[in-house]
Structures are given as C-alpha cells and as structure tokens.
C-alpha cells in the first residue's frame, strides 16, 4: 500500500485527490505546518528536503507531485493518464509539467513578493514583474481552456489534478486575482469543483477549511 505524507494546505492535496479519483487504498500520514508556515522538521526524516508531497511505496520514497502522480497512474493501469500513442499525449505531458515548471514558479514568486513574506519593498520592480508574468500565464491558460474541456483534451486526467492546485494560489488572499478576466478558467474551476472525487479529496486533505 502507498503511504502519502500530507502537509496541511499544500500540494499533497493533489495526491489525496488522485487516490480518491482512482478509488485506491492508501495510508495517510498528516502533518501540520509550523507557525512559520514551513513544514515540520520530522518530514526531513522521510526525505532530506522535507517538502510535501512525498510518498512511500515499499522501499521507494518519491518526492515531486508531478512524478508522484505519474508513478501512481502508470502503476495502476494508466487510468487518468494518457497513453504514449494517443493524440492527446503531447498535451497531457505539457500540462503535467507546466503546472510546476511554469505556472507555480510564477504564482509562487507573485505570492512571496506580494505579501506572503513581510519586508518586501512595495516599490520593488520585482512585484510588477511577478504580477505581469502571472497575468501572462493566466491569459495563456484561459485561451487554452477556451478550446478544450480539460487540459489534455476531452477527458479528465491527472494533468487537471496538477493544474487545478495552481488556481488556489491565484484566487487566494494575496494574489486576489480578478477571475472575471479569465472566464474559461472560472468555468473550468466550477466544473472541477462539482466533481465528487475533488470534493472528497479536498474534504480529506483540508478538513479545517470545510
């Protein structure tokens, strides 16, 4: 059985949501954040960086949410993945990696300089650059979602689980993005939030938010 190491309000909600969508059993180990919002040091005993998510499967410990989702989907018959011979494979891979590589990289910068950590000069050009760069990514995503129902095509896949987490930060109290600027992302979020698997996954991952 897979052990999922979950830090409250973190990317590890992706793993819980995936396990619920797939209907797989898992051993859930929960950790609260420190008052500094960092992960507790005990997570470093599982893997040295101590970031969430992490999973253990037998003797294998895996970090990085994208790698974890690929590991789980591929180990379970490819459900919620897209096969290499499918015409949607390229899009699937693109969004699986875009989520952390391009989207989160920009949104996290925006979050950190935009008020999450105090002490950043409000006149710093870095803030304007971070906002502009996030808006550019959001515009791109909105244009893509104007053309397809889900990120990889007409079916819900693990790429949606990767991408959906990004919108939490975008809509959160620091970025406070005006989502009316992105109507296709907004419609997509409403569709995903109506999924029973999403609702169950989030209720398990973030019970204090419910």
Under the binding rule (CB under 6 A), the answer on residue 10 touching ligand GSH is yes
- Is 65:14 a contact under the CB 8 Å cutoff? yes
- Residues forming beta bridges with residue 31, ordered by sequence position: 7
- Is 195:156 a contact under the CB 8 Å cutoff? yes
Q: What angle do CA 42, 44, 50 make, to 5 degrees?
A: 110
Under the binding rule (CB under 6 A), the answer on residue 100 touching ligand GSH is yes
CB nearer to ligand GSH: give 55 or 152.
55
Q: Choose which of 21, 46, 65, 158 interacts with ligand GSH (CB under 6 A).
A: 65
β-pairing, 26-31 vs 2-7, is: parallel
Under the binding rule (CB under 6 A), the answer on residue 51 touching ligand GSH is yes
CB nearer to ligand GSH: give 7 or 18.
7
CB nearer to ligand GSH: give 6 or 91.
6
Under the binding rule (CB under 6 A), the answer on residue 110 touching ligand GSH is no
Alpha-carbon torsion 79, 20, 100, 189, what sign? Answer: positive
Q: With CB under 6 A as the contact rule, which of the stretches 18-26, 50-58, 116-124, 151-159 interacts with ligand GSH?
A: 50-58
Q: Which of 83, 96, 191 is nearest to 151 (CA)?
A: 96
- Is 130:109 a contact under the CB 8 Å cutoff? yes
Under the binding rule (CB under 6 A), the answer on residue 38 touching ligand GSH is yes
CB of 210 to ligand GSH, least distance (A): 19
Positions touching ligand GSH (CB under 6 A) are: 7, 10-11, 38-39, 51-53, 64-65, 100
């Amino acid at each position: 059985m897979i052990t999922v190491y979950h830090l409250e309000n973190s990317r590890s909600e992706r793993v819980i949501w995936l396990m619920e969508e797939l209907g797989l059993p898992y051993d859930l180990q929960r950790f609260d954040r420190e008052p500094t919002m960092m992960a507790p040091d005990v997570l470093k005993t599982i893997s040295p960086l101590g970031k969430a998510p992490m999973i253990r499967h037998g003797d294998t410990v895996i970090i990085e949410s994208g790698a974890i989702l690929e590991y789980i989907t591929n180990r379970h018959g490819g459900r919620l993945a897209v096969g290499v011979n499918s015409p949607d494979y390229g899009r699937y891979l693109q969004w699986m990696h875009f989520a952390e590589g391009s989207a989160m990289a920009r949104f996290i910068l925006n979050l950190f300089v935009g008020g999450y950590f105090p002490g950043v000069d409000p006149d710093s050009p870095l803030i304007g650059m971070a906002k502009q760069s996030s808006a550019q990514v959001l515009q791109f995503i909105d244009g893509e979602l104007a053309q397809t129902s889900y990120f990889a095509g007409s079916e819900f896949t693990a790429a949606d689980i990767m991408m959906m987490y990004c919108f939490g930060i975008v809509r959160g109290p620091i970025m406070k993005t005006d989502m009316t600027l992105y109507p296709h992302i907004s419609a997509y979020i409403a569709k995903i939030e109506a999924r029973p698997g999403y609702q169950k996954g989030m209720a398990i991952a973030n019970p204090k938010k419910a």
